Structure 1
Amino acid sequence: MTVVDFHARIKPGDAEPGRLLAVMDAAGIDRAAVCAGGLLPLDRLARQLDDGGRTEAAADNEGVLRACERSAGRLLPFYFADPVRDVEAYGKHAFDFRGLEISPAVHGGRLDDPAVAELVAIAESARHPVYVVTVAQPGARPADLVRLAARFPRVTFVWGHCGHTGLDIAGLHTVEGRPNVLAEISGCLTVTARLAVTRLGAARVLFGTEYPLQAPEVELCKVAALGLGPSDREAVLGANACRVLGWEASWTRP
């Protein structure tokens, strides 16, 4: 079974991708989808989750791309897009990447912003999944994600962390009826992850770690605690990610 971390972050530099790959090896994770991290201090991110706001710091998407190129195929780059300024750049470089992240928590804004629709339209043409963490701010809640997903039924949307509270059961109910929205379970409580599998079905649930903010072993223990049968466990830990990302589920490390 190939284990795939659908959501890890790296701050590009001399230590990457070696540091992340070493962590993956220690945890038994074969491959990972990665996005730029370190855009703002954690205390500011926490405030923005509660109160809104945005950072003007730019994601080092090119650095992520270079790190992934040095990973022997184990890391897959996502483009971290700021709707205010990255529509043109993402359109120009989309086919160098394998997915898109839009984060109201980091860049503020609303999911009904025309610029967000432009980004998703580019993702659709590139056949990218779109990773979104919803927040409590107007325009960026689970219902707003569902409305966006309904406009783009051929795009796979991934609801990051099952919301931002760890216990967003109401949000889980909201996304349940929108089949092109999948749930990524890093950071949420075990009860939320279990309900995600029960309500959405194992085929719509993705394992992730939120490295480096979370130890991958913690998230693997959470999946183990769900008590899934072999086929559902395989789906959550890797097969679903391979399907969404276009990877071979039988891939083995070089």
Structure 2
Amino acid sequence: MSSEGRVWDFHARLMPGPDAVERQLAAMDAAGITRSVVVAGGVISLDRMAEQIISGGHMEVEPDNERVRQLCEASDGRLRPCWFGNPHRGPKEYRAVAAGYAGLELAPAVHGVRLDDPRTRPWIEAAGEAGHSVYVVPIGRPGCGTADLATLAECFPEVVFVLGHCGFIGIDAHAVNTVAPLKNVYAETSGTYTIIARIAAERLGAERLLFGSDYPAQAYEVEIAKLRALRLTPTEQQQVMWGNASRILGEGAI
């Protein structure tokens, strides 16, 4: 089946609620999104997360990963679950069920565990064993920045890392430059400025750029419009909006 015109959203959140899948698929249909990787949403309020990013702090909440997996089973293959890791606990449970998930996300903004904390490394090892990518949004706190993500990528060259939102502050060209030499680090486009997405395409290459929406925090239509505004070639656009995600997720070019 041709992938032309199809869209893989590499990063969205599946929110609480009995009709979560129906709402997600309806929004995807309206925007022309074919498939999506989803992670547990509603784990932390935006107010609390913003405070933690700026002032510090953490939560030890355990995301309901099993709920996400079960709901994805009702999506006719359109939603793929991503495990939301809690480094305050070890990855034993994740290891046991990793085959049922598409990847791993670690969020210093939520759980407050530094990327250079000894508790982080076992999670990366587990992701490597599962053949999963590791999605991380760096923040501007010690041990949680893009340089720390780059250090992990250097230590685990066999693991694919994804730089969420192309960095920390939306206009983070420094983050793109930091990961550019590391071929196992991709950048994901949700929430970033158009100019930074363009810089990422130029400096990393379209083959290392992933379309993401961060739905429902961002509207699908906004993120698609941003990608269209990059004026990529048809081949580059296919890579960013479908091919790269399919390859990372081990699904070939379906």
Q: TM-score, normalised by structure 2?
A: 0.96
- Report the counterpart of residue 37 of structure 1 in structure 2: 41
Distance apart, 1:13 and its partner CA: 3.2
How do residues 57-76 of structure 1 correspond to structure 2 at under 5 angstroms? 57-76=61-80
Distance 1:13 1:99 in 2: 23
- Report the counterpart of residue 116 of structure 1 in structure 2: 120
The one-letter amino acid paired with 2:61 is A
- What SS class does the counterpart of residue 62 from structure 2 fall into? coil
Aligned length: 250
Deviations 1:40-88 (A, max 9, x none): 1111111112122211222110110011111101111100011111422
Gaps of 5+ in 1: none
Residue 164 (structure 1) aligned to one of 147, 163, 168:
168
1:149 aligns with 2:153: yes
- Report the counterpart of residue 227 of structure 1 in structure 2: 231
Contact 2:16–2:42 (Cα < 8 Å) also in 1: no
- Report the counterpart of residue 83 of structure 2 in structure 1: 79
Residue 187 (structure 2) aligned to one of 159, 183, 190:
183
- Report the counterpart of residue 18 of structure 2 in structure 1: 14
Residue 111 (structure 2) aligned to one of 104, 107, 113:
107
1:50 aligns with 2:49: no
The one-letter amino acid paired with 1:164 is F
CA RMSD of aligned residues (A): 1.0
- What SS class does the counterpart of residue 232 from structure 2 fall into? coil
Q: TM-score, normalised by structure 1?
A: 0.96
Contact 1:12–1:63 (Cα < 8 Å) also in 2: no
- Report the counterpart of residue 29 of structure 2 in structure 1: 25
Distance 2:153 2:170 in 1: 22
Contact 1:12–1:64 (Cα < 8 Å) also in 2: no
Distance apart, 1:94 and its partner CA: 1.4
Gaps of 5+ in 2: none
Shift >4 Å, 4+ stretches: none
The one-letter amino acid paired with 1:90 is Y
Contact 1:156–1:180 (Cα < 8 Å) also in 2: yes
